[in-house]
Homo-oligomer: A and B are copies of this chain.
Amino acid sequence: MRCRRCKADAIIDLRRHNAAFCRDCFVHHCHEQVRRAIHDYEMIEPGARVLVAVSGGKDSLALWHILRELGYEADGLYLGLGIGTYSDESGDFARAFAQRFDLTLHEIDLPADLGFDIPEGARTVRRSPCGVCGLSKRHLFNQAASTHGYDIVATGHNLDDEAAVLFGNTLRWDDEYLARQFPVLPATDGFVRKVKPLVRVGEREMAAYCVVLGIDYILEECPMAVGNRHLAYKELLNSLEERSPGAKAAFLFNFLDRAHERFADAAVVDKDDLLRCTICGSPTPGEVCAFCRLQARACAAPDSVPVTLRGAAS
């Protein structure tokens, strides 16, 4: 197996590209895929300040590395979610990466700084941990970016992630979610721009990128996500990809190129009509934003006993 670019011995075979690469050309290939995504979807202008959502996993660390290699000004923000040893270890990987490459890593620790953790928040409001975690991340990354003067939040969602989310939204034909699914969400009043520069690279490529560059990352999946639908959809798409290499990318990019605009009118909240949260100042359709409501309820709950359950006990 020879490298497509330089004919040296290849270290990785990418079936959907019908190509194999040596170490250096594979790194170059990953950079080019991210460069192309940034260009095609007009994600980051030269000189923009980018805040990378860093989890300590392969995708976010590879993203941060690639953005710096491509010359962007990119700092990181790590959120301590309070998910036991998983959070302790993922934080260590994020810090070690920042130290090794001499980068600025901001940190917010949910238990220490905000008074609750994800498992507790989920129990209190009786939602899935993944739902509460997503709400918290969206809020805190946006708020931190606004506070510290970043123009853009970049997340490590890769091709596999985006295809799996699209798959779930398509199974239900959920117009509102289909309308929102795009690699770049423009800035609006109170919201910084969100971008997903890894949309053209797969999970396996990002793992390989970290391995060949000696970037250590947390291997464990989040213990709260085990068995969720998202992972089942990934497996199912992998079985299709196995049968027809390129099927996964075709599913995602044909949607983005041809079908996404057909759902544009399904976005529910008109962002121009939002009020300001009376607690944190974030845009919200109501008086208090969903995150501040979550925080208030989670912090009011005695240890591990949700208020709603306590009130309802008979």
Contact = CB atoms under 8 A, between A and B. Distances in A.
Identical copies of this chain, number: 2
Given A236-B239, A243-B232, A258 B173 contact: yes
Contacts of A236: 236, 239-240
Given A172-B250, A174-B254, A236-B240, 16 more contacts: A171-B240, A171-B247, A171-B250, A171-B251, A172-B254, A173-B251, A173-B254, A173-B255, A173-B259, A175-B258, A175-B259, A232-B243, A236-B236, A236-B239, A262-B262, A262-B263
Contacts of A232: 243
Contacts of A240: 171, 236
Interface string A247-266: 10011001100110011000
Interface in A238-294: 239-240, 243, 247, 250-251, 254-255, 258-259, 262-263
A260 to B, nearest CB: 9
A170 interface: yes
A173 B254 CA distance: 6
A21 to B, nearest CB: 27
A262 B175 CA distance: 10
A41 to B, nearest CB: 17
A263 B175 CA distance: 13
A98 to B, nearest CB: 40
A171 to B, nearest CB: 5
23 contacts: A170-B170, A170-B251, A171-B240, A171-B247, A171-B250, A171-B251, A172-B250, A172-B251, A172-B254, A173-B251, A173-B254, A173-B255, A173-B258, A173-B259, A174-B254, A175-B258, A175-B259, A232-B243, A236-B236, A236-B239, A236-B240, A262-B262, A262-B263
A251 B258 CA distance: 20
Nearest to A232: B243
